[in-house]
Amino acid sequence: MLSLVFVTGSAPSKWIRRYQEATGDSVEAIDAADPWAVLIDAPSSPPTVALLRLPDPRLDAASEDFHMVRLYEEAPGVAVPKDSVYAEVGEQVAESDLADEYVNLPFSHRPDVDALREALQVVAANVGVAYGPLPLLKHLSKKQVVPLEVAGPSVAPTPIALVWRKDDDCDAIQDFVGITKGRSVRSSRANAAQKSHKSHKKRKKGKAIQPRGRGRRRGRN
């Protein structure tokens, strides 16, 4: 079994389904506001991988002990009241157009989920806006709030990465990583084995083949 701790607002269900179909193994999926905190306290069995938002200074400080694979980026977003002109247009909004709006929560790649929930409640009361990664805003917003993509100098896409302990690396994790990268199950290990085989053949070719035996017999006198 594999344990996957995924950050709130991400959607790993398609990867989990493909992994289970391909391997027959189960995945324990855990939704966490702070997957890093869960990962560092997780036992080594079952092996645990975390899907989290970057940048995270805690990961930077422990990079020697962890593997990381960047997968994709989340668009920056802003949550606006349902009755606002921005919601009526329903298109990407420029940050400059929101300059006069009260900001309940400024943009962050890794916003505090509880603080964002509170900010969205204020937005739902038709007061101001709140910023954050667009998928997270969509996940947390209720009917009175509309999340929109936003563009501007103080916002940027949020990288999403898969992280796991180097000591926990195993076939199950490599299979899951391969699926998240769009490869078929076990292909990562197959490619690694193929590279190892090619390297071995090259080493063999580089050696000169010495003739065996006594060579041609000399004629008798």
pLDDT tens digits, one per residue of 93-139: 999 999 999 999 999 999 999 999 999 999 999 999 999 999 999 99
Rg (CA), the chain: 26
The pLDDT, as a whole number, for residue 45 is 80
Note whether residue 180 is domain-resident.
yes
The pLDDT, as a whole number, for residue 164 is 97
The pLDDT, as a whole number, for residue 188 is 52
At residue 183 the predicted structure's pLDDT band, cuts being 50, 70 and 90, is confident
Residue 139 and residue 80 share a domain: yes
Note whether residue 41 is domain-resident.
yes
Residue 167 has pLDDT above 50, yes or no: yes
Residue 134 and residue 169 share a domain: no
Note whether residue 213 is domain-resident.
no
Question: Could you give the 3-state DSSP secondary structure of residue 133?
Answer: strand
Of residues 61 and 212, which shows the higher confidence score?
61
Residue 108 contacts residue 136 (beta carbons within 8 Å)? no
Residue 87 and residue 44 share a domain: no
Note whether residue 11 is domain-resident.
yes
The pLDDT, as a whole number, for residue 186 is 56
Q: How far apart are CA 132 and CA 102, in angstroms?
A: 15
Q: Which two tokens stand for residue 65?
A: 């002990």
Q: How far apart are CA 123 and CA 147, in angstroms?
A: 11
Q: Tens digits of per-residue pLDDT, 25-75?
A: 999 999 999 999 999 998 878 889 999 999 999 999 999 999 999 999 999
pTM of the entire structure? 0.81
The pLDDT, as a whole number, for residue 212 is 45
Residue 137 and residue 42 share a domain: no
Tell me how far the alpha carbon of residue 130 is from its chain's centroid.
24
Q: Could you give the count of Cα atoms lying within 13 Å of 75 in the half-sphere of its Cβ?
A: 13
Q: pLDDT above 90 covers what percent of the chain? A: 79
Domain total of the chain: 2
Q: How far apart are CA 130 and CA 82, in angstroms?
A: 13
Q: Which two tokens stand for residue 114?
A: 């509880």
The pLDDT, as a whole number, for residue 189 is 54
Note whether residue 129 is domain-resident.
yes
Residue that is written with structure tokens 């509170």 in the block:
118
Note down the domain range covering 96.
76-151
Residue 191 has pLDDT above 70, yes or no: no
Residue 96 and residue 62 share a domain: no
The pLDDT, as a whole number, for residue 18 is 96
Q: Which two tokens stand for residue 112?
A: 């505090």
Residue 154 contacts residue 112 (beta carbons within 8 Å)? no
Mean pLDDT on 181-209: 54
Residue 142 has pLDDT above 50, yes or no: yes
Least Cα distance to 56 among 109, 3, 115 occurs for: 109
Residue 144 and residue 82 share a domain: yes
